[in-house]
Structure 1
Amino acid sequence: MPEHVSILQQTGLAILAVATVAWVVGLIRLVRVVTTGPPRSLPSLPLGALPGQAQAPAVESVPLTADEQDAFAGLVRQFSRS
């Protein structure tokens, strides 16, 4: 054992090494379960409180005046310079 390494440092290194090994083992087990296990279907949730969406919302648009179009074009030019 090196003389300049304290007991706390050695203990911390040992704890870190054990935690790393446990993490790797857990990760390997998780990957094996996910890749080799049969595909499970998700349980059906009771969604009676949520109404179904009948149709997609309508797209809204507002016509711009000539002054607003000029102002927008000025903003686009300003942003394209920077």
Structure 2
Amino acid sequence: MPEHVSIYQSLGVSLLILVALAWTFGLAYMLRRGRFEAAVRRAGGHTLSALPHQRQAGPHREYVELTPAEQDAFAGLVRQLGGGR
């Protein structure tokens, strides 16, 4: 080790190298794992049994009848925001 380099500098460089290597290996692992899971999904693999079954239709629509005054106020707001050209 050169005389002008302190122990803290050499430890810092070593730590940075270790962190960079760990990050690189972790990223490669995540990308490889994601590619594998996507391939399983494309091949028609089974779904997770812990997830509840998803319904095909959305929830029923709810609506409230507006009074004529509320309809006029809403139309004015839409015009004000630039929607009523």
Q: 2:69 & 2:26 partners in 1: Cα distance?
A: 64
Letter in 2 for 1:41: H
Structure 2 counterparts to residues 2-81 of structure 1, below 5 A: 3=4, 6-35=6-35, 39=40, 41-45=46-50, 56-80=58-82
Of structures 1 and 2, the one with the larger relative CO (CA 8 A, separation 6+) is 2
Change (3 A) 1:2 1:78: farther
The TM-score, its normalising length taken from structure 1, stands at: 0.54
TM-fit CA distance, 1:27: 2.6
Count residues with an aligned counterpart: 75
TM-score normalised over the length of structure 2: 0.53
- In the aligned structure 2, how far is the partner of 1:11 from the partner of 1:24? 20
Q: Mark the runs of 5 or more structure 2 residues left unpaired by the alignment.
A: none
The superposition leaves residues 39-79 of structure 1 with CA deviations (integer Å, 9 ceiling, x where unpaired) of 363442396xxxx96x7532122222221111112222332
